[in-house]
Amino acid sequence: MKKFLLIVPALLSILNAFDAKAYCDNECREKNDKYTIVKHDERCDCRSKCDCEKKAKCECDEKCDSQCDCEKKNNKNYEKYWVQYSEDNSLFFRYLTASLNKKCPTIIVDKNKIQTFERHHTLNESFPLKICQAEIDNIQNHKIQFKDLNISTKVSQIDKISIIGDTGCITWDGKLEQKCNVLSEYPFSEIARNVAKNEADLVVHVGDYFYSKSKCVKEKECFGRPYGDKLDTWKVDFLDDAEVFFKKKPILFTRGNHEKCLRGGDGWSVILDYSRDFRKCSTYTKPHSTEFEKFRFLVVDSAEAEDSLIKFKKINKDEQKEQLKSYISQFNELARFIKNDKENILVIHRPVLSKEVRPWERELKKHDINYVLNYAIQHSDFKKVFPQIKMILSGHTHTGMFFELKNKNHSLYQIVSGNSGAFLNNTTMVTRNKKIFDYKIKDQEQYKGFGFSELFLKNDKTEKIKFYDYWGKEKFEKVIK
């Protein structure tokens, strides 16, 4: 009996500790899944485990306070690698390393060794990188392997596509600062994990990767975050979290307005640009087509296209002419890729045909259709083939939206998946005047939370699009006929 009485307090102590741990685990997880519980007491100390330790893969001091600056530590061992779709219907295996003297690696493609070659080598302080690349055809299925990357690319039997967009965390001149270290406020890491573990055959990123434009000065949950167009910022805004799906799925990248040359353009041109050869940032990236057995992607760089006629008129006339001329040229070039032999899907960052109310921009309430893009379509060869477009995949507006549109000769679907990380827009869908040009809005729906979408193509007769929250829970589904 005495032994039992001695054991009881010990058991109670263990149970209490377990309860405290469970309670604190839950409390800390609700605050931010990147936190580590330091003490399981009544304070529930959810002190950060140094966000930069996860994001920048570097060593921090044990205190791990919010100012822990790891930008320049341990960069020389940094590497990332992925498979992306590119120009001329090609696939690129791309390898990025901060070890400038490192040899370009060998990869395995269909059990054959393939040597990668240097695409770019820079001593630039912002991007001290060596980029290696191997080109692979996209006319047959392939098995691509390198270290822990194991990707099967398909030309036929594409059943499901994950769509993400606008994935970075916003820090803008102290005017708008996102809580980048709080999962519920910036959930791209969770979205990336869900995209990695689902059964999609490929990932489409509809643009806008770079958002940490300036130093975080007000919001404590983004203190110490790298900023400006440089490697350290691209790491925390996109590369490190995206690594989980880099190793499993090929990716189609699209350029967004945040990758303009005066914004995040250097990072785009060095790291993600789908051009075969490296070139310094240019205002426009040429369009391209990626072909599959039953459909093709038509990719357009819409970074410079002004959203509204009012905004367009505010820029100088020479720039107005240049924009219109350049986009007419792009759509003329894109038109030559279109045939009526398979489904045509336009992938473009800025929506071509969408309609929403933006409370923070009164001038756009009546001008909420992209003026430059629509002008260019109407004045180019693309106008003739536009009725052959079945779907448009876009981002730009930080929400999830679906539009089914129809006129006398054409039915198409505008899908907006711009809610994968950056601060959400308070946009609402229109309830009156449900027309966009001569297209009637037959159906529309919106998901206003963070998340991603998936396009299901398995059934030839009836395709569908599903929108999910950032945990991967389905929010709504629409049929695409």
The domain spanning residue 393 has which CATH number? 3.60.21.10
**Adjacency order of strands within the sheet including 411-417:** 288-291, 295-300, 343-348, 389-394, 411-417, 400-406, 439-447, 435-436
Residue 201 reports pLDDT greater than 90:
yes
Question: By residue range, what is the domain housing residue 446?
Answer: 153-480
DSSP state of 72: T
pLDDT in tens, 84-100: 999 999 999 999 999 99
Residue whose token pair is 């032994």: 3
Mean pLDDT score across all residues of the chain? 84
Residue whose token pair is 């630039």: 124
Judged by average pLDDT, the poorest of 6-10, 23-27, 291-295, 407-411 is 23-27
Residue whose token pair is 């106008």: 383
- Number of Cβ within 10 Å of residue 472's Cβ equals 16
CA atoms of 240 and 283, how far apart (whole Å): 27
Determine the average pLDDT of the residues in 310-331.
89
pLDDT score of 271? 96
Domain count for the chain:
1
CA atoms of 276 and 299, how far apart (whole Å): 15
pLDDT in tens, 363-397: 444 445 788 999 999 999 999 999 999 999 999 99
Residue 16 reports pLDDT greater than 50:
no
Residue 172 reports pLDDT greater than 60:
yes
Judged by average pLDDT, the poorest of 119-128, 151-160, 405-414 is 119-128
Residue 60 reports pLDDT greater than 90:
no
Residue 318 reports pLDDT greater than 50:
yes
Judged by average pLDDT, the poorest of 169-173, 190-194, 210-214, 433-437 is 433-437
Determine the average pLDDT of the residues in 344-365.
74
Residue 400 reports pLDDT greater than 60:
yes
Which parts of 116-169 are beta strand (E)?
Answer: 117-121, 130-137, 142-146, 149-153, 160-164
Residue 434 reports pLDDT greater than 80:
no
Q: Who wins on pLDDT, 316 or 62?
A: 316
| Percent of the residues in the chain that have a pLDDT greater than 90, as a whole number | 65
CB-based contact 341:293 (threshold 8 Å): no
pLDDT in tens, 405-421: 998 888 899 999 999 99
Residue 452: strand, helix, or coil: strand
Residue 23 reports pLDDT greater than 80:
no
| Residue 29: band (very low, low, confident or very high) from pLDDT cuts 50, 70, 90 | very low
pLDDT score of 62? 34
Residue 386 domain flag: yes
Residue 227 domain flag: yes
Top-ranked range on mean pLDDT: pick from 26-30, 70-74, 276-280: 276-280
pLDDT score of 409? 83
Sign of torsion over alpha carbons 425, 429, 433, 435: positive
| Residue 75: band (very low, low, confident or very high) from pLDDT cuts 50, 70, 90 | low
H/E segment holding residue 25: helix 2-31
Determine the average pLDDT of the residues in 299-303.
96
Residue 30 domain flag: no
CA atoms of 257 and 373, how far apart (whole Å): 13
pLDDT score of 175? 81
Residue 5 domain flag: no
| Residue 44: band (very low, low, confident or very high) from pLDDT cuts 50, 70, 90 | very low
| Residue 335: band (very low, low, confident or very high) from pLDDT cuts 50, 70, 90 | very high
DSSP state of 220: G
pLDDT score of 70? 46
Residue 462 reports pLDDT greater than 80:
no
Residue 74 domain flag: no
pLDDT in tens, 240-260: 999 999 999 999 999 999 999
| Percent of the residues in the chain that have a pLDDT greater than 70, as a whole number | 80
| Residue 358: band (very low, low, confident or very high) from pLDDT cuts 50, 70, 90 | low
pLDDT score of 356? 65
Residue 302 domain flag: yes
pLDDT score of 269? 95
pLDDT in tens, 440-452: 889 999 999 999 9
Determine the average pLDDT of the residues in 115-129.
89
Determine the average pLDDT of the residues in 273-298.
93
H/E segment holding residue 195: helix 188-197
Residue 303 domain flag: yes
pTM reported for the whole predicted model: 0.84
CA atoms of 94 and 132, how far apart (whole Å): 6
Q: Who wins on pLDDT, 467 or 363?
A: 467
Determine the average pLDDT of the residues in 190-212.
97
Residue 394 domain flag: yes
Residue 20 reports pLDDT greater than 70:
no
